[in-house]
Amino acid sequence: MKPFFTREDTVWKRPNGCLHFYACPNPGEPIRETFTAMSEGLRAVPELGEQPAEHLHMTLQMLDAFTEDLADERWQAVMSDLTAVIARQPAFHATFAAPSVRPYAVEAVGDPNPRWGDLVAALRGCLSEHGLSHTLTTPPYGPHYTVAYCRGLVPDDMVRLVLEPVARPTQFLVDSVALVAVDQHRDEATYTFEVIRSWKLRPIDSSTPSSHEN
C-alpha cells in the first residue's frame, strides 16, 4: 500500500473547510459497532490511519469549494432547492462487501446501486443549474467507505493478515444527505467533518420489499 495523501485529489488549496456531500449511517446502526471492531483490528499496523468511528461516511460528491464560498448567493439558492431535489430521491440500503486492501486505503466497496447513481446525479445537476459546475470534481468510483487510510509504505500482505480476521460485510440505510465541511489530518491520515446542513430523502415505502430497492 502507498500513502493516501500522495494522491493528486488530496491536494486542496488548504486542508480544512472543504465542502463535500456525505451520506452517514444513523446513530445506533449496526455498521457503527462493526466498523469500530474492524478499525481496532488494524491498530497493529502503524502505517495505517484509522478513520474515527464518529466520522464514518460515504462520499457522494467532493467539491472544489470551501466554507467561505457559502456566502455566494448561488449557494443559498442551491441549499434551498436541495430540499425538494433530495426529497424526490428514494432512501435505500447501501450494502458493502467486507473491507479489502486497496492501493491507498482499506475500503469497503458497495454493491452497484442505481439509486446511489441517481442521488449523485441529482446533486451534481442542482449545482450545475445554479452556475456552480466549476466546483464539481470527478464523482466517486462508486459507493464505498474507508476504514483506514495508508500513511506510509506497507506490504499489502501485512495488512491482509490483520484485516481478514475482522473484516465483515455491512450495510446502512441512506435516508439523508449532509453538506459537510471536511478537514484533512495529513500526519494522522484521517478526515474529520462538521455537518453544515442535511436533507431527508423520500422514505422507503414500507409496503415495498427491500429486495426491490436496487
Indicate the length of the chain as a whole number. Answer: 214
Number of domains in the chain: 1
Q: Does 14 reside within a domain? A: yes
Q: Does 211 reside within a domain? A: no
pLDDT value of residue 207: 41
Q: Does 213 reside within a domain? A: no
pLDDT value of residue 184: 97
Q: Report pLDDT digits (tens) over 157-172.
A: 999 999 999 999 999 9
Query: CA torsion 151→108→123→74, rounded to 10°?
Result: -20
Q: Report pLDDT digits (tens) over 24-59.
A: 999 999 999 999 999 999 999 999 999 999 999 999
Q: Does 210 reside within a domain? A: no
Range of the domain at 169: 4-203
Distance CA 35, CA 168 (A): 9
pLDDT value of residue 93: 97
pLDDT value of residue 211: 35
Q: Does 208 reside within a domain? A: no
Which CA distances in Å does 35 have to 25, 94, 139?
A: 11, 15, 24
pLDDT value of residue 210: 42
Distance CA 53, CA 65 (A): 25
Q: Which residues of the chain are modeled with pLDDT < 50?
A: 206-214
pLDDT value of residue 205: 74
From the centroid of its chain, how far is CA 96?
A: 13
Q: Does 134 reside within a domain? A: yes
Q: Does 58 reside within a domain? A: yes
Q: Does 214 reside within a domain? A: no
Q: Give the CATH number of the domain where residue 33 resides.
A: 3.90.1140.10
